[in-house]
Amino acid sequence: MQRYYVTTPIYYVNDKPHLGHAYTTIAADVLARWHRLNGADTWFLTGVDEHGQKVLEAAGKKGISPQAHVDAMVQPYKDLWARLDIRYDDFIRTTEPRHKAVVQAALLKLKEQGDLYEDVYEGWYSTAAERFWTEKDLVDGKCPDTGQPVQWVQETNWFFRMSRYGERLREWIEAHPDFLQPASRKNEVLGYLRKDLGDLCISRPAARMSWGIPFPWDESFVTYVWFDALLNYVSAVGFSPQGENGPDFARRWPAQHHLLGKDILTTHAVYFSTMLFALGLEPAEHLYAHGWWTVEGEKMSKTIGNVVDPHLLVDEYGADVVRYFVLREIPFGNDGDFSHKGLLERTNADLANDLGNLLHRASSMTGKWLGGRIGALDAPTPADLELQGLADRAVAGFARELEAAQFHKALESLWELVRAGNKYIDTEQPWALNREGKTERLGGVLTRCLEIIRVAATLLQPVMPTKARELAAQLSLNADPLLALGCASLDHLVAGTVLPEPAPVFPRLLELPPRIQEALAKAQAPTPPPPPPSPSLPVPEPPVDETTPAAPALIGIDDFGKIQLLTGRIVAAERHPSADRLLVLQVELGEDKPRQIVAGIAARYEPQNLVGQQVVVVANLKPVKLRGIESHGMLLAAGGKDVRGLVTVGEPLPPGTLVR
């Protein structure tokens, strides 16, 4: 028997689930349902990531324990998956004993084989992203992922020798061209691997961040959230790092599909793959990183996010329509825009006009002219054979594209057949056949149209499970599920079967529902201007562009006299050991020994090119420490934060000459 194992990422429980979470989980559910339909031994895993500093801080603000906080945050995910008709086989929480045991055993194994080591680490730490960044990674001094402030942290931690497995990962990716999907992700990851891979910090001191899985040999450390979280895909199916795997592990791993958003591609493709190699395992067959959704043309935010609250969407459109739209609208892997107008148009065009119309026409004419009984097939004409050929191609194309996670292509393949069914009615003109008394041909034509509805009901079971059952019921088919294998042949319906009274399965949407209109109006309302400042308070000055001279406040000669400007000569220069933007300079100022000055000019100057330059120094600044190194003075430079040039002296002057 074929086996199939599909996973979503485990979602971090710092907020309620949103459209992005729903999108990934719907896609995984469709893949799992499809493989179950075709007889595969299928397993679908989803879950939540419950450790980390953000959880600890959120619990502290509420005055409750972290465990109580995550217990409350988990339920909204389960509730939404039930509303979206998600049928997972397992829901893992990283606070479960089964997961903790695997993480701790994995740490022991890696330590025993020399893949872990202890070292001092320092860098800019983002609580929001729960990771360290280098100076060059920061954007305007903030975390590049979240835009939130960072803090300088220096501490002892444990590291995984990820660099040891970098070359093996490169070779694996080249040998398995379908591993990273869509294809553009492969180049992205290989580009990352072309850099010095480095090792991965996998711990946090419990004194600073206690909410995590303790190291089994030293409880003063807890496991860093990525090392902990990523192991869920194997802990959930019975992996034992000590070699005593559970009975299901061999038939589950490696997974066939990891589905995830593109923002966590590196952690899965690089961190997790190298961890698996170190643990003696192979990566999943396919790692599929899909794109992001904007909403009504805007980046998703809390305000605009209310417009696509998944519960609101299910309330107003129904789960099946939401599932259909997100998979039909954009290629899986691309970014896309969620628009309520687009959903309305897609629903009316595809579901009401195409599929719903075909069902209504075929079933109502069968009711009127054939007594509501399915007719017998007549000898096929060239038009009938052409329709059968299209059905064969549609079913094959649907299966091929769905198994490749190309949901929009799979649905388009089916819709070519649906549209052909409507065209077939227009061409064969059953009303004329009835008028002319050609009952045998009339029965054959209408039954072939009903057969197309059966094919659609069969193939749509993974995508629109409730609507697929409603379609099947309109054909008096009560088997659940309908078998997909061999469904393309347009001869499955039993002649003489009585059909129920036709009922609309896909009613047209005449306008957006009132609650949707209300949410859109709120989101699109202009932001009110800030209130004017109180007359009793000073009006704040607008920010100044440092590259453009501004009208300065006037100072007196006595104020200027407080600044001591001296000529200096740079006699040594080197890069700051902990900051990419800083250089550490030794500058002669006519004193007993050179003055040490730390300057943010590394983006403009190489250290070796500065030695011997005559510069102007603000010499009477109080000494300060910049990233742990003392600086006593400041160089004058032009350009503000983006240094464009040092202020230098054109003629040779003794170091320490006063500048006025």
Which of 509, 541, 572 is the last residue in one of the domains?
Answer: 509
The domain spanning residue 619 has which CATH number?
Answer: 2.40.50.140
User: Does residue 355 sit within a domain?
Assistant: yes
Which of 509, 542, 568 is the last residue in one of the domains?
Answer: 509
Write out residues in the chain with pLDDT < 50, as ranges: 536-551
**388 and 470 share one domain:** yes
User: Does residue 428 sit within a domain?
Assistant: yes
How high is the pLDDT of residue 650?
Answer: 66
**584 and 495 share one domain:** no
**430 and 570 share one domain:** no
**351 and 499 share one domain:** yes
pTM greater than the 0.85 cutoff: no
Which of 447, 477, 509 is the last residue in one of the domains?
Answer: 509
Please give the Cα distance from 76 to 79 (Å, whole number): 5
User: Does residue 587 sit within a domain?
Assistant: yes
CB 371 within 8 A of CB 328: no
Please give the Cα distance from 398 to 485 (Å, whole number): 12
**491 and 610 share one domain:** no
Is the torsion defined by CA of 251, 257, 260, 263 positive or negative?
positive
Is the torsion defined by CA of 371, 377, 379, 382 positive or negative?
positive
- Pull the structure tokens for residue 339: 């628009």
Q: Which residues contact 631 (CB under 8 A, 6 or more apart)?
A: 596, 597, 598, 599, 623, 624, 625
**486 and 594 share one domain:** no
How high is the pLDDT of residue 295?
Answer: 85
User: Does residue 231 sit within a domain?
Assistant: no
**466 and 572 share one domain:** no
Report the domain count for the chain.
Answer: 2
Is the torsion defined by CA of 393, 394, 396, 398 positive or negative?
positive
User: Does residue 385 sit within a domain?
Assistant: yes
How high is the pLDDT of residue 578?
Answer: 67
**504 and 568 share one domain:** no
CB 29 within 8 A of CB 86: yes
Q: Residue 205 class from Cβ within 10 Å (0-12 exposed, 13-18 middle, 19+ buried)?
A: middle
How high is the pLDDT of residue 182?
Answer: 92
**365 and 502 share one domain:** yes
User: Does residue 182 sit within a domain?
Assistant: no
**500 and 577 share one domain:** no
User: Does residue 399 sit within a domain?
Assistant: yes
Strands 214-215 and 218-223: antiparallel
Please give, one letter per residue, the 3-state secondary structure of 451-481: HHHHHHHHHCCCCCHHHHHHHHHHCCCCCCC
What is the rounded radius of gyration, in angstroms, for the C-alpha atoms of the chain?
Answer: 33
Starting from the edge strand earliest in sequence, which strands make up the sheet with 218-223, in order?
203-205, 218-223, 214-215
User: Does residue 96 sit within a domain?
Assistant: no
The domain spanning residue 441 has which CATH number?
Answer: 1.10.730.10
**452 and 576 share one domain:** no
Strands 595-599 and 336-338: unpaired
Give the domain range for residue 620: 557-646
Please give the Cα distance from 463 to 327 (Å, whole number): 8
**562 and 414 share one domain:** no
Q: Which of 348, 357, 470, 488 is nearest to 414 (CA)?
A: 488
How high is the pLDDT of residue 194?
Answer: 86
